[in-house]
Amino acid sequence: MNNQTRLPRAAITGLGVYLPSKILTNQELAKIVDTSDDWIVQRTGIRERRIAAPEETTLSMAIEASKQALASARLGADQLDLVICATLIPEHTFPSTACLTQDAIGATKAGAFDLEAACAGFVYALSVARAYIVSGMAKNILVIGSETMSRVIDWQDRSTCVLFGDGAGAAVIQAAQEGDTAMGEIESVVLMSDGAKACHLMIPAGGSKMPASEQTVRDRQHFIKMNGPEVFKGAVRGMADAFHQVLKSTNLQLEDVDLMVAHQANARIIEGVRSRLDLPTSKVYQNLQRYGNTSGASIPIALYDAVREDVLKEGMRVAVAGFGGGFAWGAAVIKWGKVTV
């Protein structure tokens, strides 16, 4: 008899998404700023993105994605121990979007907090959820990535406004039952950061350093500022390195990975990561052509679409990586279980 106590495993058991119905195509964007469909497709791979209607917000999208994820996992909201919302554009500075979601979905027994790691937010939240479950502090956790990027984009800046879109994705993470082979496992997560590069991707105003004033509004300091080439290099190096590190941490080889889901920022960034890893293109999932960069929502939306399209199936091993402002980045390797969307 084996007397060793096994640590609980953390598994993704449900997924949900919410995408605004309004589609903004590259052709329509070309009427707003000096750009073209050709330029955007060649430099980014993006063809269209979703834009929130005035009544759609980070919270409203988080609620819908959460309800869908709970239904997908067949779990009642009152069973949740924790709600984590990864977002860089929360409903308010405070209270947290996670608390407002907790109330709206009826997660009456859950703690709730927001997590800010920009476009890497979902991977960071996944690592927190996994740690809570493995340590036995929680059994059922809802992780949300929800972003209303259209509210912080400078629609006069063609170098950034073509890149982003709105949307939300949510995942239910549960402690796997011993012997339940249908449940997958978040096998490992690694996180990294380099605050020395903070200046390359930020919203300068609205915090304690530069509170909102007439001047900050006039100077357009409440919008995303980005040094494109620096972000590009950081994202390729960072995500490729994170993939290597997470595989090393689990003693896995690249051949053991069936699918790579990198943060959906730019097709050229994903291609850069793929070629550094020397992965076949057939193992790379991409849906950014439809949604643009939805920041912390991009990975759960991509996982959802990959399952819906039957690209990601039970028994496969998927590696995900996120990269964003901070710089903050990380990767996770997940044995995929039975997830119905």
Instruction: Tell me which residue has its CB nearest to ligand ACO.
Output: 228
Residue from 26, 85, 99, 119 carrying the catalytic annotation: 119
Give min distance, CB of 301 to ligand ACO, in A.
13
Whether 251 contacts 187, CB under 8 Å: no
Between 38 and 78, CB nearer to ligand ACO: 38
Strands 167-176 and 9-18: antiparallel
The site for ligand ACO (CB under 6 A) is made up of: 35, 39-40, 43-44, 119, 158-159, 162-163, 201, 226, 228-229, 231-232, 235, 263, 265-266, 293, 323-324
Residue from 26, 266, 287, 293 carrying the catalytic annotation: 293
Rg value, the chain, Cα: 19
Residue from 26, 85, 99, 263 carrying the catalytic annotation: 263
Identify the helix (H) or strand (E) that includes residue 273: helix 267-277
Give min distance, CB of 40 to ligand ACO, in A.
6
Q: Helix (H, G, I), strand (E, B), or coil: what is residue 77?
A: helix
Whether 337 contacts 12, CB under 8 Å: yes
For 310-331, give the DSSP string: TSS-TT-EEEEEEEETTTEEEE
Between 79 and 159, CB nearer to ligand ACO: 159
- One-letter amino acid at 298 equals S
Whether 261 contacts 231, CB under 8 Å: no
CB atoms within 10 A of CB 133: 25
N-to-C CA span, the chain: 39
Known catalytic residue: 222? no
Give min distance, CB of 160 to ligand ACO, in A.
7
Identify the helix (H) or strand (E) that includes residue 140: strand 140-147
Known catalytic residue: 161? no
Between 175 and 273, CB nearer to ligand ACO: 273
Between 111 and 228, CB nearer to ligand ACO: 228
Please give the distance of CA 101 from its chain centroid, rounded to a whole number: 17
Known catalytic residue: 119? yes
Between 100 and 328, CB nearer to ligand ACO: 328
Closest CA to 18 of 330, 294, 324, 284: 294
Between 222 and 313, CB nearer to ligand ACO: 222
Give min distance, CB of 104 to ligand ACO, in A.
28
Whether 67 contacts 41, CB under 8 Å: no
Give min distance, CB of 43 to ligand ACO, in A.
4
Give min distance, CB of 167 to ligand ACO, in A.
14
CB atoms within 10 A of CB 255: 8
Whether 144 contacts 113, CB under 8 Å: no
Q: Which sequence positions are flagged as catalytic?
A: 119, 263, 293
